[in-house]
Structure 1
Amino acid sequence: MTSIKNRYRLGIDAGGTFTDFVVADRQTGETKLFKALSTPTDPTRAIQNGLKLIHEAIGVSPTELVSNSDLCINGTTVGLNALITHRGGKTGLIATAGHEDSIEIRNGHKEDGYRYDPEYPAATMLVPRYLRKGVRERVLSDGSVRTPMHEEDVRAACELFLKEGIETVAISFVWSVLNPAHERRAAEIVREMMPDAIITVGSELYPQVREYTRTSTAVVNAYLAPVMRRYVKAVDAYFRELGAAQPVRYFQSNGGLAIGQVLTDRSVYAINSGPASAPQAGLYVSAPFGKKSVITVDMGGTSFDITLTKDGQTNLNKNIDFLRYRIGVPMIQVETLGAGGGSIGWIDPLGIIQMGPQSAGSEPGPACYGQGGTEPTTSDANLVLGYLSPDGLLGGKLPLDIEKARAAVRKVADPLGISVERAAYGMYTIVNNNMVNGIRRVSVERGYDPRDFVLVGAGGATAAHITALAREIGIDTIILPKLASGLCAFGQIISDVKYNYMATAPVRLDNDAAYKRVDDLYKQLEKEGRAHLVSDGFTDETIEIRRSLEMRYVGQVHECTVDIDTFDIDATSIERVKEAFHRRHKELYTYAEPHNPVEVVNIESTLYGRIEKPKLPEKPKAGAAGGAIKDHRDAIFDASGIATRTPVYDGDRIGTGEPIKGPAIIEEVTTTIVIEPGWTAVLDPTNSYLITRDR
């Protein structure tokens, strides 16, 4: 029996429009979802508002809930938004003299897709040129020191930074991953002269080869650190006031949890904090149906996030350009579009309807919210089409104004000389096409056939579009949990603590000294990681380690990532490592060269602190679905703009196992599900709708 002190688990996912709250009662097995409008200017206010809603609904006060929770978990878009809007901290960079411009030279070319476009503008530099200061020092590729560090250069940089009001400093020297002494001494000087500054040391944050990637990662981390420090400090203080027994855990872009101090030190891991939990949740709700290949889509008020999991493995990205900035640390592969319920419709110079990427957000929000918004949005179109209830969202707590929605959509309809209804369906179709193109980018363009996957719906706005998306992409099976609108928050409460430890090891695998070096590095990383997790309350029984290496044939420019088991690396076991590399190389490039020598470039250990998972809530079989019809309303399902009289179901009254054939609309408290003609939905006992295309 779970003790009262550990009765609850709380997950909070702060999005651009709504902040989602999932409360799991570990005694009763119930999991409840709540939503509050996000407050971007003061994120803790949204948390306060959400805890108030929970108190009103289940009678558990914020203090009682937090003090009796084994974990309080927070996923946030604060870091992502700071990077998008360029509102990070004022940052200075200390680099090897002559390498101050590496973040601007960017390996000599633009990002993929724009490499040969002369009109594509340069990326905005997070550190302007005059705040990038060179230090005379040089470490060679064998780790030896050619030029000792001139400490007066570091001090001169600090004097400039103090004068300019710099609050955060990135330090990145050439080949510091093989000999970090100069970086560490520079950091000591910065701490001495700038005691209030936040310091990011490149060889500690991303200890792997590739100077540009390491420097860029350090700069992004430093840029976000003040923002994340303020956020973590405010959230931690608020939860301490409520009596939290454990430190708040924050969701990282690598798909795991971490305490606030880690997220402050490694702020770059906060970039995809919210959507990174979607794959874990998608796999979890798909497991009862025996599905392990899942595309999870999350449409909120501002953005549309897509993740792909093949055979239970979610892709991790490393060394990628994210929002035009090179980031080396592992991140769950998330495709993000400016497509959400708040996406604004407009007409381009050619007279074609466009949707987004600009969004009405939560302030002022779509016109139908009645909070001052006047631009036509996806939500306004969905209300005009009859998909959303005129009585409002969130069980009527967020009233909707159909006349304001029609007035907004008229801004699109009148210039085109068409009806408001046809304009609304045009907006709906365009935003769907934008999302389908995003799904193709993570599937078809990477060699996957989307028809081999199930589509899992997450996010409050997704359910109104889910059958249209599946129809267009060719997927026949949809899984839509009742918790869909807060699925990322649910994903947080079923996730583990996760830390990535990396090192560089440029060695040819052809002698005992090379094997020992790799083995010693792994053991050193894992000793550090275990100590970190033990101090966080985990035991050997709850700690799991996974290893990988970045390897290549000698003479190749690029390497590939190879997963290996945890074992001693010596002259006997090294053949297992090589064989794993040959196998992976063939998977990626269709050929292998077993006769050619192999070398390691980087190694990585991922350490997990495994956490007990709450169970999925189960719903007992109830009466026939026909008894759940509460109303009928006109809804539009094609470009003609002609409405069809459509049954509206009360999601709370739907029984398991009874088919609901489209066209139909199912109203849950936190989302509205549109079942197009040609599709059938059945509620499973695990509280997920299984929606299939009619044969």
Structure 2
Amino acid sequence: MQNQYRLGIDAGGTFTDFILADRKGGVRIFKVLSTPTDPTMAIRNGLKLIEEETGLSPETIVSNSDLCINGTTVGLNALITHNGAKTGLIATKGHEDSIEIRLGHKEDGYRYDPEYPPATMLVPRYLRRGVSERVLSNGTVHTALNEEEVREACRHFLREGVESVSISFVWSVLHPEHELRAGEIVREMMPHVRLTIGSQLYPQVREYTRTSTAIVNAYLAPILQRYVEAVDAYFQSLGARHPVRYFQSNGGLALGKVVTDQSVYAINSGPASAPQAALWLGEPWAMKDIITVDMGGTSFDITLTRDGRANVSKNIDFLRYRIGIPMIQVETLGAGGGSIGWIDSMGLMQMGPQSAGSEPGPASYDQGGERPTTTDANLILGYLNPDGLVGGRLPLNVEKARKAIKTHLADPLGISVEKAAFGMFTIVNNNMVNAIRRVSVERGYDPRDFVLNCAGGATAAHITALAREMGIRKVLISKLASGLCAFGQIISDVKYNYMAPAPVRLEGAEAAARLDGLFNQLESRGTEDLKSDGFTDDNISVRRSLDMRYVGQVHECTVDVEPFEVTEAALARLKAAFHARHEELYTYSEPQSAVEVVNVESAITGAVDKPGRMEIAPGKGAHAALKGTREMIFNADGIAHETPVYDGALLGAGDRITGPAVIQEVTTTIVIEPGWLAELDASGVYLLSQHEAHAARVLADAVTEDA
């Protein structure tokens, strides 16, 4: 029975999702409410629920699992709420305020807004200490490190009760010895604090980005350390034979020690697994261009894969803090099932970004919430089962939902509760469509060339409306959609990123030899790290990227390349790849201009065995799954129509359902608008297709009926 299971856990703002897979292809999903004050409690509650439904004790599952994987929002929540550790910064004297100067401007979108407030500093001014030292841009030492000033900084931090220290010096990536020696002094005088050394965490050119990244890492490290220690200890008490793996923002798995040392990689760990899951779902149809949207209780996350690869971002402002390390590109919007409806000063209805979360939750949860939310609107529109969510374990109070919408929206606006509910539904959809456009249209992609993939418990009620608005004609909805990120974790690989500065022009044999040597050095280190983790050459792979620019440009762009020997002749391949990427991003290139590299990076991946794919038995026809009808509203007129409701558990492979209709799965509700056709595949995925002829016929019938 050993290694029979694989367990994925994804902690969200409202729900914590559990995916339990076995080697025979059986995959089950479970959901419990998140416990923000004690994230480990949700894990205990989830394993207890699994035991109640399967008869498998937590000890049986954990001790017989080859992998237990955890994606957590602990770091993200700490950054959002500014509830991280008390952090100190040791910087080159005169550069203590680089994180406040922020390259001389505010982040994009607010650069010229004089009323936009400055970001809250994670390290306040009195905890930033400058020390005498200076390295020049060629790596030579101009001023030696003043060790006594480092010791004085430590004494100051000890008096102030600092929990974590970050060190970032100018040009330390070319001469890290000063940072390393300062780190030795900190460890000597402050042995109990967490220490982040900028040139080790993010060895890349750009002082502000490196310093900011180091500060964010130090700010989160004690929080992640306590969380990882608690989770690891709990799983060890259950008899775990293998260490818990944690999902990282770069789309790969890592051990707890790596997560505590490199906590910045855990910031967006939850939604970062969505692209991997999307590609797995689309594989039977050879789909590789997929936009995944994940609407949970609190937020709406969007990721994009093009040609089978997820978009990766570096050097971005995340929650107003510059982070340099590579992260799966996730666009996040405050739009979830708990998003609160309100009326602005102009008398217009708005949705979010405020959320009711899990405590107290939407008004219909009957847990003390009084404000109208997206979930309450969907309940009034008839989309959600009034008997409750999550298989009835989360009852819904229709009257509480109606009262909340009536009191706060319908009566003030002078409209019916039904029209107000549809308005809430429409506004939150428009907010999500705008976010999808930011990921696709604004980055040069036509969303009509993509498939829309549904993730998150609340998304399926909105998915056909979103696809219709975007002009997308195909939609994927897995039976595991509400826990898709947890599923993405159990099919993901171990991945580490290794970086090095490489300021060199792409000219001559010396430049080629330097680049080739750097890549080989990084990849040898990564391969050894993975081998010590139990991997072999057969399941280790490498991807390379270079930050490149035309000589004289201020900013560079990242160019992905396959591994190959970098010879003088091969430099032409690198130049061609850069010209192509530059044109893709900015619509032009300059082949006649000289090209230079700023940084290089190797992503080393250790492939993990994948669990079996879900198999659904052939169906007996959709009529066998028909539960009855329910009044639903699909138009702004607020008029309800009897609409068929199907039990997803009774549908089989090949069964087809024409909208309007609703399919009730245990942990999600699929709303199929008029003009859409849903077919369940044997892999457990609904493929929804839009049919213009059918849509036109339904519209004509509706007009005739109204007449």
Give the TM interval when normalised to the shorter protein.
over 0.9
The C-alpha deviation readout for 1:83-107, integer Å capped at 9, x for no partner, is: 1110000000000000000000000
Residue of 396, 403, 414 corresponding to 1:400: 396
Equivalent-residue separation in structure 2 for 1:500 and 1:448 (angstroms): 27
Superposed, 1:359-378 pairs within 5 Å as 359-378=355-374
Please tell me whether residue 69 in structure 1 is matched to residue 65 in structure 2.
yes
Residue of 444, 457, 462 corresponding to 1:460: 457
Aligned equivalent of 2:438: 441
Per the alignment, in what secondary structure is the counterpart of residue 350 of structure 2? strand
Equivalent-residue separation in structure 2 for 1:578 and 1:644 (angstroms): 61
Counterpart of 1:672, as a letter, is: T
Q: CA deviation at 1:126?
A: 0.5
Aligned equivalent of 1:354: 350
Aligned equivalent of 2:387: 391
Equivalent-residue separation in structure 2 for 1:657 and 1:441 (angstroms): 35
Aligned equivalent of 1:218: 214
Aligned equivalent of 1:479: 476
Please tell me whether residue 275 in structure 1 is matched to residue 271 in structure 2.
yes
Counterpart of 1:686, as a letter, is: S
Please tell me whether residue 19 in structure 1 is matched to residue 16 in structure 2.
yes
Per the alignment, in what secondary structure is the counterpart of residue 2 of structure 2? helix
Aligned equivalent of 2:33: 37
Per the alignment, in what secondary structure is the counterpart of residue 11 of structure 1? strand
Counterpart of 1:390, as a letter, is: P
The C-alpha deviation readout for 1:188-229, integer Å capped at 9, x for no partner, is: 111111111100000001000000000000011111111111
Aligned equivalent of 2:600: 603
> Which stretch of the first structure deviates more once superposed, 650-659 or 246-255?
650-659
Counterpart of 2:335, as a letter, is: A
Q: CA deviation at 1:556?
A: 2.3
Q: CA deviation at 1:34?
A: 0.6
Residue of 551, 554, 571 corresponding to 1:554: 551
The C-alpha deviation readout for 1:552-585, integer Å capped at 9, x for no partner, is: 2222222222222223323343333233333333
Aligned equivalent of 1:664: 661
Q: Is the 8 A contact 2:467 2:475 kept in 1?
A: yes
Aligned equivalent of 2:202: 206
Equivalent-residue separation in structure 2 for 1:298 and 1:584 (angstroms): 29
Aligned equivalent of 1:647: 644
Per the alignment, in what secondary structure is the counterpart of residue 229 of structure 1? helix
Equivalent-residue separation in structure 1 for 2:275 and 2:623 (angstroms): 33
> Which stretch of the first structure deviates more once superposed, 509-518 or 303-312?
509-518
> Which stretch of the first structure deviates more once superposed, 460-469 or 553-562?
553-562
The C-alpha deviation readout for 1:654-682, integer Å capped at 9, x for no partner, is: 12223211111111000111111121111
Equivalent-residue separation in structure 2 for 1:668 and 1:397 (angstroms): 13
Counterpart of 2:214, as a letter, is: A
Aligned equivalent of 1:568: 565
Per the alignment, in what secondary structure is the counterpart of residue 9 of structure 1? strand
Equivalent-residue separation in structure 2 for 1:591 and 1:622 (angstroms): 53
Aligned equivalent of 1:538: 535
Identity %: 71
Residue of 245, 256, 261 corresponding to 1:260: 256
Per the alignment, in what secondary structure is the counterpart of residue 410 of structure 2? helix
Aligned equivalent of 1:631: 628
Paired residues, number: 691
The two structures have a TM-score, normalised by structure 2, of 0.96
Please tell me whether residue 578 in structure 1 is matched to residue 589 in structure 2.
no
Equivalent-residue separation in structure 1 for 2:558 and 2:464 (angstroms): 36
Superposed, 1:454-533 pairs within 5 Å as 454-533=451-530
Please tell me whether residue 247 in structure 1 is matched to residue 243 in structure 2.
yes
Aligned equivalent of 1:149: 145
Equivalent-residue separation in structure 2 for 1:13 and 1:127 (angstroms): 30
Equivalent-residue separation in structure 1 for 2:290 and 2:367 (angstroms): 37
Q: Is the 8 A contact 2:224 2:263 kept in 1?
A: yes
Aligned equivalent of 1:674: 671
Residue of 47, 55, 58 corresponding to 2:54: 58
Q: CA deviation at 1:439?
A: 0.6
> Which stretch of the first structure deviates more once superposed, 587-596 or 678-687?
587-596
Q: CA deviation at 1:65?
A: 0.3
The C-alpha deviation readout for 1:217-265, integer Å capped at 9, x for no partner, is: 0011111111111111111111111111111000000011000111101
The C-alpha deviation readout for 1:344-368, integer Å capped at 9, x for no partner, is: 1111111111111111111111111
Aligned equivalent of 1:619: 616
CA RMSD between the two structures? 1.1
Per the alignment, in what secondary structure is the counterpart of residue 5 of structure 1? coil
Equivalent-residue separation in structure 2 for 1:549 and 1:537 (angstroms): 29
Per the alignment, in what secondary structure is the counterpart of residue 180 of structure 2? helix
The C-alpha deviation readout for 1:304-326, integer Å capped at 9, x for no partner, is: 00011112121100001111100
Aligned equivalent of 2:304: 308
Equivalent-residue separation in structure 1 for 2:340 and 2:513 (angstroms): 58
The two structures have a TM-score, normalised by structure 1, of 0.98
Counterpart of 2:156, as a letter, is: L
Equivalent-residue separation in structure 1 for 2:446 and 2:506 (angstroms): 37
Equivalent-residue separation in structure 1 for 2:434 and 2:104 (angstroms): 29
The C-alpha deviation readout for 1:485-536, integer Å capped at 9, x for no partner, is: 0000000001000000000011123233322222222122112111111111
Runs of 5+ consecutive residues of structure 2 not aligned to the other structure: 693-707
Residue of 130, 135, 141 corresponding to 1:134: 130
Per the alignment, in what secondary structure is the counterpart of residue 677 of structure 1? coil
> Which stretch of the first structure deviates more once superposed, 406-415 or 324-333?
406-415
Q: Is the 8 A contact 2:619 2:655 kept in 1?
A: no
Please tell me whether residue 95 in structure 1 is matched to residue 91 in structure 2.
yes
Equivalent-residue separation in structure 1 for 2:576 and 2:345 (angstroms): 57
Per the alignment, in what secondary structure is the counterpart of residue 6 of structure 1? coil
Counterpart of 1:648, as a letter, is: V
Aligned equivalent of 2:182: 186
> Which stretch of the first structure deviates more once superposed, 263-272 or 647-656?
647-656
Counterpart of 1:285, as a letter, is: L
Equivalent-residue separation in structure 1 for 2:556 and 2:321 (angstroms): 21
Equivalent-residue separation in structure 1 for 2:555 and 2:35 (angstroms): 44
> Which stretch of the first structure deviates more once superposed, 514-523 or 659-668?
514-523
Counterpart of 1:300, as a letter, is: G
Please tell me whether residue 114 in structure 1 is matched to residue 110 in structure 2.
yes
Equivalent-residue separation in structure 2 for 1:20 and 1:83 (angstroms): 22
Are residues 448 and 583 of structure 1, via their aligned partners in 2, closer, same or farther at CA, if it must alter by over 3 Å? closer
> Which stretch of the first structure deviates more once superposed, 415-424 or 181-190?
415-424
> Which stretch of the first structure deviates more once superposed, 550-559 or 579-588?
579-588
Counterpart of 1:111, as a letter, is: E
> Which stretch of the first structure deviates more once superposed, 51-60 or 482-491?
51-60
Counterpart of 2:30, as a letter, is: F
Counterpart of 2:679, as a letter, is: V
Are residues 449 and 571 of structure 1, via their aligned partners in 2, closer, same or farther at CA, if it must alter by over 3 Å? closer
Equivalent-residue separation in structure 1 for 2:294 and 2:303 (angstroms): 9
Aligned equivalent of 2:691: 694
Are residues 382 and 6 of structure 1, via their aligned partners in 2, closer, same or farther at CA, if it must alter by over 3 Å? same
Equivalent-residue separation in structure 1 for 2:569 and 2:670 (angstroms): 57
Q: Is the 8 A contact 2:444 2:585 kept in 1?
A: no
The C-alpha deviation readout for 1:30-71, integer Å capped at 9, x for no partner, is: 111110111111111111111111112222110010010000
Equivalent-residue separation in structure 2 for 1:628 and 1:122 (angstroms): 56
Per the alignment, in what secondary structure is the counterpart of residue 495 of structure 1? coil
Per the alignment, in what secondary structure is the counterpart of residue 60 of structure 2? helix
